[in-house]
Amino acid sequence: MNTPATATTFSLDGEDVPFLPGETILQAARKAGRYIPHLCWHPDFAPQGSCRVCTVKIKGRPGSACTMHAAAGQKVESNTDELNAERKMLLQMLFVEGNHFCPSCEKSGNCLLQATAYEMNMEEVLFEEFYPRRPIDASHPDILIDFNRCIMCELCVRASHDVDGKDVFAIAGHGIGTHLVVNSMSGRLGDTDMALTDRATAICPVGAILPKRRGFVIPIGERRYDAQTAADPATQEASS
């Protein structure tokens, strides 16, 4: 006697989400048009779960939706008051750890950190600003790095290694001393072979890596998150 085939689904906040073998919870949710907040995840790269913004709960236990594989019958919690409060706190900590003054940032309106903060209703910062003194590297003829805005998502590290084959970037240090570094003898971007056309140039979800002489090419009001939110399925990528 043959057993009837059952659709392979898991439950996300009480609604069934279909998935394919090997897909993570975040991949399947995104494909189904369901939003799970994230910062360090990108569909073109292997997940690493560094930002923890996509944390969900399965049987009361937390885990990163970008790294946990979907399984039949799973009951996943994501859009809960508890998890959204934790996400909001993580976002607040990111904002005070660096210098994220949105009105003066060229990436405003195209910034995933900013858009996610709006989505999580982050109206204020509860912690004291660190105001770190990090350098701005303008040594490259075509690309600028503002280390004050880096959120350590490592997307530029992965893009430079996996796509560009150059290993221009790396993450160094531990704990609060963790920081992005440029792999050159001088530590300056101008002494690398990074190009404006490299994947690593466009992958940054915030305003840390920017092309020069392109400021406000897309006017305010016409940017990615001006008309859509981070939860819109069309915008659920860290970068184009």
Report DSSP letters for 41-56, one per residue.
Answer: --TTS-----S-TTEE
Q: Are 45 and 159 in contact (CB under 8 A)?
A: yes
Q: In whole angstroms, what is the distance from residue 158 CA to residue 46 CA?
A: 9
Token code pair at residue 68: 């946990």
Digit-by-digit pLDDT tens for the chain (240 residues) are 443 345 699 999 999 999 999 999 999 999 999 999 999 999 999 998 999 999 999 999 999 999 999 999 999 999 999 999 999 999 999 999 888 889 889 999 999 999 999 999 998 888 888 878 889 999 999 999 999 999 999 999 999 999 999 999 999 998 888 999 999 999 999 999 999 999 999 999 999 999 999 888 888 889 999 989 999 866 654 444
Question: Rounded to an integer, what distance in angstroms lies between the CA atom of residue 183 and that of residue 170?
Answer: 7
Instruction: Return the ∠ at Cα 95 (arms to 57 and 13), rounded to 5°.
Output: 20
pLDDT at residue 227, as a whole number:
86
What per-residue confidence (pLDDT) applies to 110? 94
pLDDT score of 175: 84
The number of CA neighbours under 13 Å toward the Cβ of 172 is 7
